[in-house]
Amino acid sequence: MRIATHADEALLAHLHAESWRSAYRGILDPSFLAGPIEQNRLDAWTSRIGPHHPDLTAIIAESDGEPVGFVCAIGAEHERWGTLVDNLHVLPTAKGRG
């Protein structure tokens, strides 16, 4: 595992989009899932990673040196409940592997 940086924005977008396409198949409109989700997620990650969000941490999970998923947490998001796990996405091929 490693902390994501600006250099990982496209990777985060790819992992996020592939996770959505798998998890939401049969739930969301197929045309939406076939659309420009990766660009949408790239726009989101480009605005989130870096100094504008110092409490946000994204951690990339790797298996055999290859990225397979990520988690994103926002520290001190809530006064009472603390850190918010905002995203947790894994490639379909990595699900159930621990």
Amino acid at 58: A
Cut 0.85: pTM above it: yes
**Residues ≥6 apart with Cβ < 8 Å to 54:** none
What tokens does 67 get?
């990225």
Domain boundaries, the chain: 2-94
Model confidence at 75, pLDDT cuts 50, 70, 90, reads confident
The tens digit of pLDDT for each residue in 6-47 reads 999 999 999 999 999 999 999 999 999 999 999 999 999 999
Q: Work out the average pLDDT over 42-53.
A: 87
Topology, domain 2-94: Aminopeptidase (3.40.630)
- The neighbouring-strand residues paired with 51 are none
Q: Of 85, 50, 55, 54, which is closest to residue 69 (Cα–Cα)? A: 85
Residues 29 and 85: their CA atoms lie apart, in Å, by 26
